[in-house]
Amino acid sequence: MKIDYNDLVFKEKIKQAGSSHVYSGEYKGQEVAIKLFDIIHPHSSLHRLYGVFNICLIEYDNLLKVREKCTEMNYALQEPIGVTRNPQGIDILISKLVKDDNGSLSNELKDAKNTIDKNFISQLQNILYSLAEKKIYHMHLEDQRNILVHVNSGIHPVIIDFQSMNETYYPWLKITKHFGMDSARKRYFRRINRMLKSLEENLN
């Protein structure tokens, strides 16, 4: 959904990644996360070579597709609200802000390992395997930045940032798959199983 940039209220910066900046804010009274994408990305020429022209729209469309295919798991998936562009021409993705029951922002898993338990890891495994059953492979989970630890009557995982889903925005997989060397599914399971094993070891 295209929204009016003037309806956004920016608050504090939450996160800065390689090609984006995320702020907390409001959209028509609703608390939201506002993600601004850099105009010039260091790999922009490579992206154009593989037909990737707007990573903001790719991420938004991927989020819509995932939630449509996985309605029973929407509680554990980032909720997109819309897209817009600021006066400087920067693309912006707006999604629902994930907050804990005490009103604070939910932490990324990499910063909240001391709060998780076996039940959390089991929930996370079930969610990631269920996504794979529907042929949805989030290709950027291993560093644990795109998994939030949501504290709300217990602790629960919330998966965000489906920009790198399947082969979308992951162009070299097209080459390796063509030569029979790899696939999104193989790489997905290799990465998430390694991550899950690391989380389990961290509990011991």
* Count of Cβ atoms closer than 10 Å to residue 73 Cβ: 17
* Among 106, 84, 89, 93, residue whose Cα is nearest residue 33: 93
The radius of gyration computed from the CA coordinates of the chain, to the nearest angstrom, equals 17
Confidence of residue 182 (pLDDT cuts 50, 70, 90): confident
Confidence of residue 134 (pLDDT cuts 50, 70, 90): very high
Q: Name the residue range of residue 74's domain.
A: 5-203
Residue 43 clears pLDDT 90, i.e. is over it: no
The predicted-structure confidence for 69-112, as pLDDT tens digits, reads as follows: 999 999 999 999 999 999 998 999 999 999 999 999 999 999 99
Confidence of residue 174 (pLDDT cuts 50, 70, 90): low
Q: In whole angstroms, what is the distance from residue 26 CA to residue 84 CA?
A: 14
Based on the structure, what is the number of domains in the chain?
A: 1
What is the overall mean pLDDT for the chain? 89
Q: In whole angstroms, what is the distance from residue 177 CA to residue 148 CA?
A: 30
28 or 20: which carries more pLDDT confidence?
Answer: 28
Q: What is the pTM of this model?
A: 0.90
What average pLDDT does this structure show over 136-161? 96
Tokens coding 36 = 């601004």
What CATH number has the domain bearing residue 173?
A: 1.10.510.10
